[in-house]
Amino acid sequence: MKTIDDFNFSGKKALIRVDFNVPLNPEFEVTDTNRIEAAKPTILKVLEDGGSAVLMSHLGRPNGKVVADMSLKHICNAVSDIIGVQVKFAEDCVGEKAVKAVEELEDGEVLLLENLRFHAEEEQGDAQFAESLSHLGDIYVNDAFGTAHRAHASTTIVAQYFPGKKCFGYLMAREIESIDKVMRTGEKPVTAILGGAKVSSKITIIENILDKVDHLIIGGGMTYTFIKAQGGRVGSSICEDDKMSLALDILEKAKAKGVAVHLPVDVLAADNFQDDANTKIVPVNEIPDGWQGLDAGPKTLQDFEKVILASKTILWNGPVGVFEMPNFAKGTIAVGHMIEDATDKGAFSLVGGGDSVAAVKQFGFEEKVSYVSTGGGAMLESLEGRVLPGIAAIMKG
């Protein structure tokens, strides 16, 4: 795996694919700078070597049209503040304006190209567009894990124009290594905690990780499909009736592979889907009609804690309750603390995928786990066992 450390950028222009698809408020101020901060070490490495950095990214979904509100010029000041270097801006990402801006770029300087998705060819993976991009740098660096699952011009196709001169940035390298620790090289016992609402959205992940894990903890809304499939009463809880046979099949496969599956034994049930609903703790398989399970119960959390604290490698993908409502966030917070404790004891912990990342950030666990993935869709596809096009393009050498 070639990383940025395999190159010296002295006198070179690094064409870096970053993921600066950041949220903006109505005043066009960046409200979450995490993605920019994540790219900083890679950019600084190029500058410290004595090279210059040409940054390319998308922002939003302009669908191949120029949309003023989605111009990357809005984030130039934020990038400058975070990197500590005044970032220059090119009014296009290909063509005369881009070429001229790159030609004028001196060592130690940073240039941000305009939104790639102002050109429909970006998402189409157009080879001619990718070739035009390739003229803007001497070495191609992919540091945009969040888009690595897309075979777009800037994330995948452009790499073919840099034979022997392409590599992963620090962020991409860490993402790949972290997933590899869970899926291949992790110290046993390996535990996967899968939450979220639906079994259907996690089927391929579950099937792919059964060969890699020793323990599978299932929480959140998909609990109730498993419980009902085994004859339990789940009241008004979310349940995919058409996936019950699949749930039983998963349990059978896990048993055959020697994977211990841990389902909730009790839940915090509510009489409606509101934070101020009436609540009570009930056995997970005896939820009364009109009531729905919205969080893990105390006995369940005790069971989960024993497994998590004994683990050496932990993957957390999905909350174990409706954490967006304070009264039903306690289970997810408790699991966060368990993973924090296990990490303190030397376990490797990876958090990835939409809601679990949101929960980790909301409850302050970001610095208390080993790694929080920056790529939702890319992370999930990696866990499903797919080879991401953006990664494969660099690996080809």
Q: Which of 64, 108, 377, 385 is catalytic?
A: 377
| Residue whose C-alpha is closest to residue 21's, from 30, 9, 10, 11 | 30
108 backbone φψ class: left, alpha, beta (φ>0; ψ -120 to 50): left
Choose, from 12, 13, 17, 35, the residue flagged as catalytic.
35
**Is 377 designated active site?**
yes
The answer to whether 386 is annotated as binding is no
Is 324 annotated as belonging to a binding site? Answer: yes
Residue 10 known to bind ligand = no
Annotated ligand binding at 19? The verdict is: yes
Q: What angle do CA 253, 258, 260 make, to 5 degrees?
A: 90
Question: Is 150 annotated for ligand binding?
Answer: yes
Query: What are the tokens at 397?
Result: 């050498």
Does residue 198 have an active-site annotation?
A: yes
| 356 among annotated binding-site residues | yes
Q: Name which of 286, 291, 257, 259 is nearest 274 in CA terms.
A: 291
Of the residues 97, 198, 253, 368, which is catalytic?
A: 198
Task: Tell me if 77 is assigned to a ligand binding site.
Answer: no
- Any known ligand binding at 61? yes
Residue 50's CB: how many other CB atoms inside 10 A?
13
Q: Is 299 a catalytic residue?
A: no
Rounded (10°) CA dihedral 329, 331, 332, 333:
80
60 is in an annotated binding site: yes
Count of CA atoms in the C-beta half-sphere (13 A) of 238: 16
Known binder of ligand: residue 354? yes
Provide the Cα torsion 33, 143, 178, 362; round to 10°.
Answer: 10
Q: Taking every pair of C-alpha atoms in the chain, what is the biggest distance, in angstroms?
A: 70
- β-bridge partners, 279: 270
Ligand-binding site membership of 35 (annotated):
yes
Any known ligand binding at 251?
A: no
385 is in an annotated binding site: no
Q: In the annotation, is 354 catalytic?
A: yes
Nearest C-alpha neighbor of 391 from the set 186, 171, 132: 171
Secondary structure class of 16 (helix, strand, coil): strand
Given the residues 64, 97, 233, 354, the one annotated as active site: 354
Query: Which contiguous run of DSSP H or E holds residue 331?
Result: helix 330-344
Do residues 46 and 53 lie in contact, with contact meaning Cβ atoms separated by under 8 Å? yes
In angstroms, the CA 384 to CA 325 distance is 30
Cα(346)–Cα(365) distance, integer angstroms: 16
Annotated binding site: 19-21, 35, 58-61, 117, 150, 202, 293, 324, 353-356
Annotated binding site for substrate: 19-21, 35, 58-61, 117, 150
Annotated binding site for ATP: 202, 293, 324, 353-356
Could you list the active site residues? 35, 198, 354, 377
